[in-house]
Amino acid sequence: MEDVALRDSLPQKQTLLTSWTYRIPALLYEKESETLLAFAEQRTSPDDASSKNLVMATGKRKKSGSGAVTVEWSEFEVVKEAHLERHRTMNPCPLYDKNSKTLFLFFICVEGTVSERWQIQNYTNKARLCYVTSTDIGQSWSELTDLTDLLDEIKSWATFAVGPGHGIQTEGGRLIVPVYAYVSYCSTSCWSCFCRSKCCKVLPFALALYSDDSERKTWQFGEMLPEVSLECEMAEFFDDAQNSLIYCNARNQRGYRVEAVSGDKKLIFQPTSPRKLTETSWGCQGSVVSFPDQTKTSDQSPDQTPNRWLLFTHPSTTKRTELAVYLNKSPSDPNAWSKPWIINSGPSAYSDLAYIGDGWFACLMERGQQSEIEQIACKVFSYSDVEKGTGE
């Protein structure tokens, strides 16, 4: 198992020797080039309103003669194109279109230093939905595209954000970006309203942004989850009839993770939460990825099977500490999650997972010695490690 601190080559016990704070990791693996792309926010302080840039590091997958996999990382560099004048850039969310060989990097651009709390209290959205693209695995980037005014739903939201963490492409070619939005929720009559009377609250709900056309000129939103939910990630798996299903795992503030599944083309999710995956006291982002069923057969390598399992990372206590991996070999069963396997003892917070082939994974995470946001680090581990750690 490899444990690498990004941004520099400092030992694990040391923090970043810089005036910048790095938070909100996002990770993507491009199989053909065997390249990992790590993204994060570059801030002047831990405050969300101090975010300045998105930064990116490139990792090259290496395999030793013994079969062990490691990653060699570059330094973080600023993605200069991911910038909108008089706005700060937040929430990196990368995804890759294998058909056009195009990397999409979604993010939000928030006006000035306006906080999320202010937007919610004043029911005034100051965030914009943007992306840049790359056709050379992040070596160069397109100009920024702003989708905000093309999506009518955003006009009725108090505010919103993408991810953070990776988006996905389904086997059918659809691109899916995880999103959450704050809306006026009326408990006595309609699902969502604008009266903002005493019966209404401004609450967050997760949903998906997706595109089906090959040129990615058309984007639309699915429906919001019926349960209060925040930062989310999604993964594709298949039922016994090989129907594609989209799994959503979202942050909550009620002591448990929100889980939901959609088999609908419009991405209408049905909650499945058995409240088995615990949440931190105030909630924390978590990551989920699907990967090939690792059951060994004589005529088929694991990476060729259409069956998928799920892996999930999240702090395993009520505080942001003890980052753990959870395994689910039966994604249709929300009770099938394994016990947690701790991959980072001590302060840990946001994370993002990637399956990097041959039964290996990479996890980009926030961690530290005194605080969970001292360092962005990457841990590489195998399915064999997961089996041993979870006891599955």
Kindly list the catalytic residues: 48, 350, 366
Residues facing 262 on adjacent strands: 246
Query: Please, are residues 227 and 238 in contact by the beta-carbon 8 Å criterion?
Result: no
CA distance 3 to 378: 6
CB 58 within 8 A of CB 72: no
Alpha carbons 39 and 352: distance in angstroms, whole number: 10
d(CA 345, CA 203): 33
Question: Which of these, 116, 104, 119, lies nearest to 37 by C-alpha position?
Answer: 104
34 class by beta-carbon count within 10 Å (0-12 exposed, 13-18 middle, 19+ buried): middle
Closest by CA to 127, choosing from 182, 175, 70, 185, is 182
CA distances from 78 to 43, 89, 133, 374 (A): 12, 11, 15, 19
Q: Which two tokens stand for residue 386?
A: 């997961």
Positive/negative CA dihedral, 353, 226, 279, 158? positive
Side chain identity, residue 90: M
305: Cβ contacts below 8 Å, ≥ 6 apart: 292, 293, 295, 297
Q: Which residues pair with 366 in a beta bridge?
A: 376
Name the CA dihedral angle for 183, 186, 189, 194, rounded to a multiple of 10 degrees. Answer: -60
- Do 261 and 245 meet the contact criterion of CB atoms below 8 Å apart? yes
What radius of gyration do the chain's Cα atoms show? Answer: 20
